[in-house]
Amino acid sequence: MKEAVVIGGGLAGLSCAVALADRGLRVTVLERAARLGGRASSWIEPVTGDTVDIGPHIFHSEYHNMLAFLQRLGTSRLICWQPGKVLTIASRPRPVRLRHWPLPPPLSLMPSLLAAPGLALPDYLSMRRVALRGMTFGEEEVDALDGMSMLDFLRDQGVSERMIDWWWRFAAMVVTNVPLERCSAASLLRIHAQLSGYRGLHFGFGMVGLGDLYTAQAAKVVEDAGGSVRTGAAVTAILGEARAEGVVLAGGERLHADVVVSAVPPQELAPLLTRPFDGLGAFEPSPYISTYVWFDRDLGMERFVSHPWSPGRLNYDFYDLCQIRQGWRGRPTIVAANIIYSHRAHGMTDAEIVRATQAEIAEFAPAAANANVVHADVHRIPMAIPCPLVGFERSRPAAASPLPGLVLAGDWTRTHMPCTMEGAVKSGMLAAEAVLGAPGTLATPSRLYDGLAGIARTMAARRPPE
């Protein structure tokens, strides 16, 4: 039986391990931390006894690889979907509720956007060239667009400054986790094309802790197939110079294997290699701070709310967990919030962050201003995702590494997807394909856009290259 070692027990590592175990390999998963899950992990909060995540994550209906993975594990039913609405942006003087209207993509969201305060007809018309680029966008455009920032691209396309400030700066922060002026045009335009190109795309949230959706279940699949899953197992080196032959653990234990899959971030992989290959130092992490706040009353807020961009904004997205988690309905409100690209909060104490978060919740849920905070947790996470900066897309490596016997997985690899849970699971499938020598058999590609977007994309794909 062929032996595989997977370094890293997050989504990428465990999805790869399950795929390999299902196909007859004996897999050993090694996770440095005390629990599985990586950047999508969960634990029981010791004061309240509630399950919390390292930070709230979002699913959407086009997460085909992620949802197939959860279906394999028997937990796909544990997603709380909101098909009637995409999200609420808590703008002033009135909120903007984005939902799909009965129009062909990418026009289905347009009636909702027409309600945006402060924008006029010229601002909407200034989006026409970008809308067309989104409809025709394909991976063949990535290398060219990756050489410029999205801010420069939007200005080059004639988008008004008011539209840039209201929509695009918000979009850059919440979906790419970096400011617009630093974001690769290719990275953000890909996401824009996907979010606007599918009819009825909607978001979902874990009804249980993120880790409870997949960690124990994936470990059982691997172990039932004769493999093992070890936590607290730090890898200190990858054996072999001409070919990866196994790993060395802290304490000196050596594990030999036919193939090694690295499912850790690039900055963690480089020190494990005798001869690091090019590109591993080119990725910058985007840090974030996730705050959980237990209130003494029901705030009457929506399930999922986002704040629009502003220069002084801390938190962007807010989740009322009592409307998401199984068995929590009827409790006083528990909010999870995210400070994305959190450099601006460095130096703030936990107490200062909690007070600022409460004030930002009160902007859309006024009852929060006079509510008492019963308990709060502040999670400081060094990396949400690798920053999709200018040049990022061209730096992403394929699953097959330059070192024979070493295969790469992780949202930072070349998945043709954003750095998301879907990207992580797809990377695990691509890594498993590379191990098995079976390209195109496991990972599900993004489907063709719907409606007018699909027609435009089909025509663009048929156009001969210039």
Among the residue ranges 260-264, 369-373, 455-459, 461-465, the one predicted with the least confidence is 461-465
3-class SS of residue 97: strand
Distance CA 329, CA 200 (A): 27
Write down the pLDDT at residue 275.
86
Summarised one tens digit per residue, pLDDT across range 355-390 is: 999 999 999 999 999 999 999 999 999 999 999 999
Among the residue ranges 88-97, 334-343, 453-462, the one predicted with the least confidence is 453-462
Write down the pLDDT at residue 83.
87
**Domains (range + CATH), the chain:** 3-41+210-281+390-436 (3.50.50.60), 87-201 (1.10.405), 285-386 (3.90.660.20)
Write down the pLDDT at residue 279.
79
Side chain identity at 106, as an amino acid letter? Answer: P
Query: Is the pLDDT score of 306 beyond 80?
Result: yes
Beta partners for 60? 203
Distance CA 157, CA 460 (A): 19
Write down the pLDDT at residue 466.
56
Write down the pLDDT at residue 412.
96
Phi, then psi, of 166 in degrees rounded to 5: -75, -45
Distance CA 198, CA 114 (A): 19
Summarised one tens digit per residue, pLDDT across range 405-444 is: 999 999 999 999 999 999 999 999 999 999 999 999 999 9
Summarised one tens digit per residue, pLDDT across range 129-167 is: 999 999 999 999 999 999 999 999 999 999 999 999 999
Query: Is the pLDDT score of 464 beyond 70?
Result: no
- Percent of the chain topping pLDDT 70: 99
- What does the DSSP assignment read for 398-449? PSB-SSTTEEE-STTSS-SS-SSHHHHHHHHHHHHHHHHT-TTSSPPPPPPP
Write down the pLDDT at residue 463.
73
Nearest 5°: the CA angle 158, 163, 165 is: 115
- Which residue do the tokens 């630093």 mark? 182
- Percent of the chain topping pLDDT 90: 93
- Which residue do the tokens 């979902």 mark? 204
Summarised one tens digit per residue, pLDDT across range 7-26 is: 999 999 999 999 999 999 99
